[in-house]
Structure 1
Amino acid sequence: MRVLFSVSSWPTHYSSMVPLGWALQAAGHELRVLCMPSQTAAVAGAGLPPVPVLGGVEVAVHNRLSYVREARAGQWPYPWTPLHPVTGAAMSTLDEFDLGDYLRTDGARFAAASAAGHDTAVEFAREWRPDLVVHDPVSTEGLLAALVAGVPAVLALWGPVGTHEPAPVRILPDDLGDSFPRHGFGPFGPDLIRHVLDPCPAAVAAPVRGQRLPVRYVPYNGPGVPPGRLPRTPGRPRVCVTWSTALSTMTGPHSYALPAIVAALTSLGVETVLTATREDAEALGPVPATVRLLERCPLYALLPDCDAVIHHGGAGSAMTAMVTGTPQLAITFASEQSRLAERIASSGAGRHLPGHIATVETIQAAVAALLQDVAYQRDAAALRRAALDRPSPVDLLPALEKLAAE
């Protein structure tokens, strides 16, 4: 079977697809990964064969545009103004972004690149003739290529945010280049998605109308070296903190919550293990002796020996904590992460703290509750069992083979 992956310009959007790619290749299936040139190293570094021919809006620009739209619609809950969508510079007012000028210049360029990328994906599919296409929610090139080639397309969710979310949570991109109408399929919309790989147990399930194909979430946190077993201080809880590698580039300097998190954990007297980029860690300056810094350490290697985890609401962090059974606190700064955190909190496996009300005191109270209330450990363990009951990527292969054959 020939399988074509299509991925976006943000590695955490497709990291959940990597173990499936390994399973397909190990079973003897042939795989190619359509991606932007910026993702060539990340895809190849994961052991998957990249085809770097896609184009369009980089995810950071796409997200910043979404935040400006939310702010203009009165749906932006934070007291600060979003960043400039194209430059990423701080804005004091929304008037600093000229939408008309953007549509004439950068917007037109992004639309042309998106159209070219979709056309290239279609051309590649016609020549390579895949039997099946799997794509992440932001990479609609794979969906269009499958429709034109007449083969099944499967969208791979990255976490508990679905294909049919209301605004402003919608994760599916706009069809900037009108590629779907140009190829005869009418306006792009979520109802074109017929099959969905879903790694989320029922307790955190997201809205989906296509056929759900349940799959187990297998953590892939990118390249990194596990630290081995870290010695613990007897009687002292251990809390892991993992922070986004580029959150500030999307939501601004107000989302740099690490100083408040470290201060809150220090006041609680817990042992803190912080994994972050070198830049985020260096911005903290000197840290207390109770804080151990690990640069880009794979999260799956840390969480089994932690009593709780704090993250920004990213799907990779939340899903990794889910399969390790670790109670989690999500401090969020964007609508998608907020919805994800709400679903984790509603399952009882964690708590949600919107970023604009995250202070040393509120963080301290939320972490204390996670560590002291056994209900969080119980519900996190239950969510882990439900997650592990789903078919592994290897066990999923017969269903994908059947779908391709039909």
Structure 2
Amino acid sequence: MRILISTIGTAAHFYPVVPFAWALRCAGHDVRVACEPGFTATVGATGLPAVAVGHDVDLRTFWQGVALEPAAGTGDDDHLRTRMERSMAMFTGIADAAAGDLIDLARAWRPDAVVFEARGYAGLIAAHSVGVPAIRHTWGIDTNYSRRDFDRPYLDELCARHGLTGVDPLGDLTLTPCPPSLTEPDEVNRARLRYVPYNGSGGLPSWLIPAPERPRVCVTWGHMFSQITDNLHPINQAIEGLRGLPVEVVAAVAPGQRALLPATPPPQVRVAESVPLNLLLPTCAAVINGGGAGTLMTALSAGVPMVVVPSHTDEPEYAERMSAAGAATWLSYREADAGAFRAAAEKVLAAPSYQEGAARLAAENAALPSPAALAAGLDEVIAQARRGG
């Protein structure tokens, strides 16, 4: 079969789909990944074939004038609504830039289904335009379900420009790589699969081979935070807070983020550039992070407890669900200074309940069907999507 995959141009959205895309290829299916031109190299580095559609969109333009926390005199609810509005303006703007080309590609190539990452709405539009199933692939916890009524007017306006009406933002079928206990009961046409982390290509550093002499704490803030803010202030605060604790600290960053950290970090801190988190996190006693889906789900699959500091988009909901499951503690962005980071890290490292909660989620994830199992039964997956459409 031919499967067209649609993603926006950021690793945080695309990487969770890579294991299923490769499972499809290994099962003998023809896969193509449609993305904006500036993202084709990232897709190509995964070994998947990339097709450029539309034009590049600068995500930062959608966030100008919007802070990570409410301004003085502004309530949390108003600030959240503003951020949700900007998010949908961004996602529909990205989709609008790609939809025309993606529809043309789908008409020419005739895929049997379109798999779109949860905000890759150009793929949803292309699927409906050519009459094939639209299969939504979430990044882990499905927060889009609870926001579908808020999102729908933005998507309706976008779809109308392409002659479509009544398009469900959730597609015809949702693939959910997430333990059931972290997903609220709902009526979504859903197929579950195991979260298999893909965090980019990279070798195993020699220092990761022996067991650490002290508890290892990873500090990482994913891909999107620095794209929007041009800083890694939370990592710098966490490094300062962990100073002097009997732990080894690893600041995990992408190459373009290294300049945002101190030129000379404290002696107990190692800066790891481009080390895939799925190689690093199984050696860690805890991970401090911003609550991005990729980091959270990779930590979940490795059974590593977390300190989460959400700042935008779906991160607060992720943090709350991980905390409720007993696998994390979380801080609000406004209170996350060095002292707060230190206290939270000490709490997670000292209490066995966090490790137990993380281990439960890892076991629940491991019990789900693998991406390979779903790809082997692709006929039934597409049939289920058609029944739900």
- State the TM bucket, normalised to the shorter chain: 0.7 to 0.9
Q: Does 1:194 align with 2:175?
A: no
1:41 maps to: 41
The partner residue of 2:243 within 245, 266, 281 is: 266
Percent identity, aligned pairs only, is 34
Worse-matched range after superposition: 157-166 or 319-328: 157-166
Q: Does 1:28 align with 2:55?
A: no
Worse-matched range after superposition: 334-343 or 280-289: 280-289
Which residue identity lines up with residue 153 of structure 1 in the other structure? A
Could you tell me how far apart the structure 1 residues matched to 2:318 and 2:381 are?
Answer: 29
Could you tell me how far apart the structure 2 residues matched to 1:207 and 1:309 are?
Answer: 28
Could you tell me how far apart the structure 1 residues matched to 2:67 and 2:376 are?
Answer: 40
2:7 maps to: 7
Which residue identity lines up with residue 338 of structure 1 in the other structure? P
Counterpart contact for 2:96–2:122, Cα < 8 Å: no
Task: Determine helix, strand or coil for the equivalent of 1:267.
Answer: coil
> Residue 231 and residue 171 in structure 1: after superposition, are their counterparts in 2 closer, same or farther (change >3 A)?
farther
In structure 1, stretches of 5+ residues that fail to align are 86-102
Could you tell me how far apart the structure 2 residues matched to 1:299 and 1:390 are?
Answer: 21
Superposed displacement of residue 272, structure 1:
1.0
Superposed displacement of residue 166, structure 1:
3.8
2:123 maps to: 142
1:16 maps to: 16
1:344 maps to: 322
Counterpart contact for 1:241–1:275, Cα < 8 Å: yes
Q: Does 1:180 align with 2:159?
A: yes
> Residue 209 and residue 60 in structure 1: after superposition, are their counterparts in 2 closer, same or farther (change >3 A)?
farther
1:348-367 to structure 2, matched below 5 A, reads 348-367=326-345
Superposed displacement of residue 47, structure 1:
0.8
2:360 maps to: 382
Could you tell me how far apart the structure 2 residues matched to 1:270 and 1:181 are?
Answer: 55
The partner residue of 2:104 within 120, 123, 137 is: 123
The partner residue of 2:310 within 332, 350, 368 is: 332
Q: Does 1:165 align with 2:143?
A: no
Superposed displacement of residue 313, structure 1:
0.8
Could you tell me how far apart the structure 2 residues matched to 1:128 and 1:307 are?
Answer: 47
Which whole-Å deviations, capped at 9, do the CAs of 1:160-213 have from their partners, x for residues lacking one? Answer: 142223499x7889349x4422444326553x6221111111222157642111
2:228 maps to: 250
Could you tell me how far apart the structure 2 residues matched to 1:226 and 1:173 are?
Answer: 46
> Residue 155 and residue 382 in structure 1: after superposition, are their counterparts in 2 closer, same or farther (change >3 A)?
same
Which residue identity lines up with residue 132 of structure 2 in the other structure? V
> Residue 400 and residue 289 in structure 1: after superposition, are their counterparts in 2 closer, same or farther (change >3 A)?
same
Counterpart contact for 2:212–2:283, Cα < 8 Å: no
> Residue 216 and residue 143 in structure 1: after superposition, are their counterparts in 2 closer, same or farther (change >3 A)?
same
Counterpart contact for 2:175–2:193, Cα < 8 Å: yes
Which residue identity lines up with residue 303 of structure 1 in the other structure? L
Could you tell me how far apart the structure 1 residues matched to 2:166 and 2:69 are?
Answer: 21
Task: Determine helix, strand or coil for the equivalent of 2:204.
Answer: coil
Superposed displacement of residue 243, structure 1:
2.4
Counterpart contact for 1:119–1:179, Cα < 8 Å: no
> Residue 404 and residue 174 in structure 1: after superposition, are their counterparts in 2 closer, same or farther (change >3 A)?
same
1:208-227 to structure 2, matched below 5 A, reads 209-227=187-205
The partner residue of 1:203 within 173, 181, 186 is: 181
Task: Determine helix, strand or coil for the equivalent of 1:193.
Answer: coil
Aligned residues: 374
> Residue 23 and residue 243 in structure 1: after superposition, are their counterparts in 2 closer, same or farther (change >3 A)?
same
Counterpart contact for 2:194–2:368, Cα < 8 Å: yes
The partner residue of 1:304 within 259, 266, 282 is: 282
Which whole-Å deviations, capped at 9, do the CAs of 1:98-149 have from their partners, x for residues lacking one? Answer: xxxxx9xxx9xx96x8546212222221221111110012211111111122
Worse-matched range after superposition: 266-275 or 222-231: 222-231
> TM-score by structure 2 length?
0.86
Counterpart contact for 1:273–1:291, Cα < 8 Å: yes
Which whole-Å deviations, capped at 9, do the CAs of 1:224-280 have from their partners, x for residues lacking one? Answer: 22214354564x321111223451342464x61122211222232211122113454
Task: Determine helix, strand or coil for the equivalent of 2:146.
Answer: coil
Worse-matched range after superposition: 67-76 or 179-188: 67-76
Task: Determine helix, strand or coil for the equivalent of 1:133.
Answer: strand
> Residue 63 and residue 219 in structure 1: after superposition, are their counterparts in 2 closer, same or farther (change >3 A)?
farther
Which whole-Å deviations, capped at 9, do the CAs of 1:39-90 have from their partners, x for residues lacking one? Answer: 1101111111111013474444445588699879844798xx99xx8xxxxx
Superposed displacement of residue 399, structure 1:
4.2
1:404 maps to: 382
Counterpart contact for 2:69–2:334, Cα < 8 Å: no
Could you tell me how far apart the structure 2 residues matched to 1:62 and 1:33 are?
Answer: 25
Worse-matched range after superposition: 259-268 or 43-52: 259-268
Task: Determine helix, strand or coil for the equivalent of 1:286.
Answer: coil
